[in-house]
Amino acid sequence: MDISTAILIIGFAAVIAAFFLLVIGLMYSEMMNSDIPQGVANRGKLHVVHGLFVGISIVGRILDRLGLCHQVRFTRWFRRRFLVRIRPVPPGLRVKDLTFSEVPVRVYEPTTGSLGLRRGLVYFHGGGWVLGCLDTADDVCRHIAKEAETTVISVGYRLAPEHRYPTQLDDCDAATCHFLSVAEAEFGVDPGRVAVGGDSAGGNLAAALCQRLAKRKDGHLLSPCAQVLIYPALQMADFNLPSYQQNHAVPILFRGRVAFYFLQYLNGDTSVCQDLLEGNHIPAEMRLAFKEWLSPEHLPPECKVRGELQQVHSALDYKGEVYHIIKDGLDPEVSPLLAEDAVIRLTPPAFILTCEYDVLRDDGILYRKRLLDLGLDVTWHHVPDGFHGLLDFFKKGWLTFPSATQAINSIVSYVKTL
């Protein structure tokens, strides 16, 4: 080996070493900003998961700034390649990929005998309207279909930043209405026993879709019989509710990322992210109107015992230019918790799952209160040691969290009642 070749190899090795040192340093810095409370089950495992996700994010950010690969595309690729494992279809289940009204779907059908028409569930995956796909929801949908003897339709709606609101909701709408129109003839499913549901951003889409369909009722199609909302994101008006303050740095969803994902869904203008977190985007008269639905006073006392809760926003901090950038996000189709009583009253019964150590905990609890106040049936399951994204770690080998199994079993139990 000549000297020039040796120098080239040493230089390349030095660059690689520097890259890894940079990633490790940034990971350490990010990890120091996290806070995993003692009440979270399997805290050590969650630390490992958080470190993995932070590493993926940092590498994606570096590749993005070097112009080699968009950060979101790298994150999607890595998760599909290394964090998703598609197993052989188990006995008793049939799985096939189809298209409903030009929207890709995956259909999970139990093959065991049925005395009559089956029930159905149209499922929207989570991922902040930016991440997630049919594959990431595969284990959850298989389990619900098999254990609840239910035909499950998983919807592969289009994602941001390539597609903004209302594309995601429109895709879910189109796929759901298509299924309702052919449920009995093509799948042996009773269209009067079809629920919609989803986790996180998918829960947002399910709640928003139920409101949209309730307003649209035209007599041609039945509406969903229930809404299954799993730690849903339901409003972008107040990022300082007690759960946002208590869990602001609990993996895998930090407070700041919620605002970021909402903005990606809405229009991509993340320059106003900090203003959203500080509450500068809501006019005084609107804040007063929203207080009826968003006040911490409506939360159970146990939701307010951890940490020092602060009153963050002030009418003096309102910025009109920020409001005009995000005002569409206050529409109930983006923030279902802010819908009028007359609309919510028309929506179906609900199952709501919340996790104690989740920034979105209070969204679900406040929506439950609104539904109950309007006379709707609500089944609430709270995971006292759970965190956001729990179902992503169901049947994930050593990354599985016991509370994920408990959570999905509660969903199965509810679906069986439909």
d(CA 165, CA 272): 17
Q: What is the pLDDT of residues 111-121, one digit of tens each?
A: 987 789 999 99
Q: What is the pLDDT of residues 232-260, one digit of tens each?
A: 999 999 999 999 999 999 999 999 999 99
Instruction: Share the mean pLDDT of the chain.
Output: 90
Segment holding 378, helix H or strand E = strand 378-387
Q: What is the pLDDT of residues 133-175, one digit of tens each?
A: 999 999 999 999 999 999 999 999 999 999 999 999 999 999 9
Residue 19 confidence (pLDDT) above 50:
no
Please identify every residue annotated as catalytic.
Answer: 200, 358, 388
pLDDT band at 305 (very low <50, low <70, confident <90, very high): confident
Q: How many CB atoms lie within 10 A of CB 37?
A: 16
Segment holding 350, helix H or strand E = strand 350-357
Q: What's the token pair of residue 411?
A: 């969903």
Residue 32 confidence (pLDDT) above 60:
no
Q: pTM of the prediction? A: 0.92
Q: What is the pLDDT of residues 37-88, one digit of tens each?
A: 889 988 888 888 888 888 888 888 888 888 888 888 889 998 888 888 888 9
d(CA 25, CA 27): 5
Average pLDDT over residues 258-283: 95
The answer for 92, left when phi > 0, alpha when psi is -120 to 50, beta otherwise, is: left
Q: What is the pLDDT of residues 201-224, one digit of tens each?
A: 999 999 999 999 999 876 667 899
Average pLDDT over residues 12-25: 50
Average pLDDT over residues 388-405: 92
